[in-house]
Amino acid sequence: MRNHKPILSLVSPCYNEQEVLLQSVHILAARLTQLIDKQIIHNDSFICLVDDGSNDDTWQLIENCSQKYHCVSALKLMHNVGHQNALMAGLNFVADKCDCSISLDIDLQDDLSTFETMLELYEQGNHLVFGVKKNRQKDSILKRMSARLYYRLLQLMQIKSVYNHADFRLYSKKILQLLQDIPERNLYLRGLCANLNCKVGYVEYDIKERQAGTSKYTLGKMLSLAWDGISSFSIVPLRAFTFIGFFVFLISVGLSIYVLASVLFSDSVVPGWASTVLPIYFLGGIQLLGLGILGEYIAKVYLEVKKRPRYIIEEKITTQKAPVAK
Ligand code: UDP
Ligand code: MG
In this predicted model, what pLDDT tens digit does every residue of 192-229 receive, in sequence order? 999 998 999 999 999 888 888 999 988 899 999 999 99
What residues does each domain of the chain span?
A: 8-215+309-317, 236-306
Asked if residues 95 and 180 have their Cβ atoms less than 8 Å apart, the reply is: yes
295-322 pLDDT, tens digit per residue, is 899 988 988 888 889 999 999 999 875 4
For residue 209, what pLDDT is reported? 86
Q: Quickly state the pLDDT bin for 144 (edges 50, 70, 90).
A: confident
Q: Where are the beta strands (DSSP E) in the chain?
A: 8-14, 46-51, 72-77, 100-103, 128-133, 165-172, 200-205, 313-317
Asked if residues 264 and 226 have their Cβ atoms less than 8 Å apart, the reply is: no
| Residues near 73 by beta carbon (within 8 Å), at least 6 away in sequence | 46, 47, 48, 49, 66, 93, 94, 316, 317, 318, 319
Is the beta carbon of 14 within 6 A of some atom in ligand 1?
Answer: yes
Is the beta carbon of 19 within 6 A of some atom in ligand 1?
Answer: no
DSSP 75: E
CA-CA-CA-CA dihedral for 294, 297, 302, 307, to nearest 10: -170
Nearest CA to ligand 1 atom 24: 215
What are the backbone dihedrals phi and psi of residue 21, each rounded to the nearest 5 degrees, phi first?
Answer: -60, -55
- What's the whole-number mean pLDDT along residues 80-90? 97
pTM of the model: 0.87
Whole-number Å distance, alpha carbon 233 to ligand 1 midpoint, is 23
Is the beta carbon of 106 within 6 A of some atom in ligand 1?
Answer: yes
Asked if residues 103 and 169 have their Cβ atoms less than 8 Å apart, the reply is: yes
What atom of ligand 1 comes closest to residue 13's alpha carbon?
Answer: 7
Is the beta carbon of 80 within 6 A of some atom in ligand 1?
Answer: yes
Pocket test for ligand 1, best of 216, 223, 310 (most atoms within 8 A of CB): 216
Is the beta carbon of 107 within 6 A of some atom in ligand 1?
Answer: yes
pLDDT for residue 124 is more than 70 = yes
pLDDT for residue 323 is more than 50 = no
Q: Quickly state the pLDDT bin for 325 (edges 50, 70, 90).
A: very low
For residue 3, what pLDDT is reported? 63
Is the beta carbon of 216 within 6 A of some atom in ligand 1?
Answer: yes
Indicate the pairing of strand 72-77 with strand 313-317: antiparallel
Question: Given this structure, which CATH class describes domain 8-215+309-317?
Answer: alpha beta
pLDDT for residue 12 is more than 60 = yes
102-116 pLDDT, tens digit per residue, is 999 999 999 999 999
- What's the whole-number mean pLDDT along residues 172-185? 95
Q: What are 48's strand-pairing partners?
A: 11, 73
Whole-number Å distance, alpha carbon 249 to ligand 1 midpoint, is 45
What is the rounded average pLDDT for all residues in the chain? 90
271-300 pLDDT, tens digit per residue, is 676 678 778 878 888 888 888 899 899 988
Whole-number Å distance, alpha carbon 218 to ligand 1 midpoint, is 9
Is the beta carbon of 13 within 6 A of some atom in ligand 1?
Answer: yes
Whole-number Å distance, alpha carbon 114 to ligand 1 midpoint, is 20
Pocket test for ligand 1, best of 83, 136, 187 (most atoms within 8 A of CB): 83
Burial of 298 (0-12, 13-18, 19+ CB in 10 A): exposed
237-273 pLDDT, tens digit per residue, is 888 888 888 888 888 888 888 878 887 887 776 767 6
Nearest CA to ligand 1 atom 2: 83
Percentage of the chain beyond pLDDT 70 is 96
For residue 175, what pLDDT is reported? 98
62 alpha carbon, closest ligand: 1
